[in-house]
Chains A and B, each alone.
Chain A
Amino acid sequence: GAVVSQHPSWVICKSGTSVKIECRSLDFQATTMFWYRQFPKQSLMLMATSNEGSKATYEQGVEKDKFLINHASLTLSTLTVTSAHPEDSSFYICSARKTGAGTGELFFGEGSRLTVL
């Protein structure tokens, strides 16, 4: 099966620092990856669509300068939370779709829990 790995699985940082989260497709190529944010007891909220070799597409209300996304290769997308604040504390999840997949099944990472002190 297709495996998507996120790193780190959890991170604690001080307010004002930046944190980078990696999302890797381990055994397939992913032209498109998606980044979600999930607050406690809530559903996943799509933040942005990450396309290999081009700029990410952000959902309405998501600050592109705060949540920097880079998709430099077909197996890696990164999300950098810049100048993190306590309200950025959340569970961040990425997903990837196999290049050329017809039905659009997505494969999700394990998630990364960010706590900003």
Chain B
Amino acid sequence: LAKTTQPISMDSYEGQEVNITCSHNNIATNDYITWYQQFPSQGPRFIIQGYKTKVTNEVASLFIPADRKSSTLSLPRVSLSDTAVYYCLVGNSGAGSYQLTFGKGTKLSVIP
């Protein structure tokens, strides 16, 4: 399973764009990159998933370079409610067992 590395914590002011980068040097060909958000005492919530280039949805964008050894989650104009831990996971649903291994995550603190 591909191991991921993220910054432990980040601070941002309200209204700013936040970019969280994740390294996954040994990502496999079939692996997708998925980002989850977790608030205290809640289960993780899916944010976005991608395989290559750029993916955008209503809450975030995900940038993946051609070598796929890293990815960047971009949160536009963060608010206080975006304060949470963000996890980058790498995995795929190929035949057989499938699981996502959680790294330490990035604790984002949004400051008024």
Binding site for B on A (CB under 8 A): 4, 6, 32, 34, 36, 43-46, 49, 51, 57, 91, 93-95, 97, 101-111, 113
- A45–B34 CA distance with the chains assembled, in angstroms: 17
Mark interface residues in B78-96 (1 if CB within 8 Å of A CB, else 0): 0000000001000111000
CB distance from A57 to the nearest CB of B (A): 6
Given contacts A93-B43, A110-B43, contact A104 B32 (CB under 8 A): yes
Task: Give Cα A17 to B81, complex, Å.
Answer: 38
Binding site for A on B (CB under 8 A): 32, 34, 36, 41-46, 49, 51, 87, 91-93, 97-105
**Which 9 residue pairs across A and B have the least CB separation, nearest first?**
A104-B93, A108-B43, A44-B102, A43-B102, A111-B43, A108-B44, A93-B43, A109-B43, A103-B32
* Interface contact tally, CB-CB below 8 A: 63
Whether B44 lies near A105 (C-beta < 8 A) is no
A102 touches B43 (CB 8 A): no
B42 touches A110 (CB 8 A): yes
Task: Give complex CA distance A51, B97 in Å.
Answer: 9
**Alpha-carbon separation in the docked complex, A12 to B34 (Å):** 34
Distance from B74 Cβ to chain A, minimum over Cβ atoms (Å):
19
Q: Is the CB of B49 within 8 A of A103?
A: yes
Contact across chains for A107 and B46 when beta carbons are under 8 A apart: yes
| Chain B residues with CB below 8 A from A91, complex form | 41
Q: Which residues of B contact A93 (CB under 8 A)?
A: 43-44
Contact of B98 among A4, A97, A108, A110 (CB under 8 A): A97
Minimum CB distance partner of A92 in chain B: B43
Contact A34 B41 (CB under 8 A): no
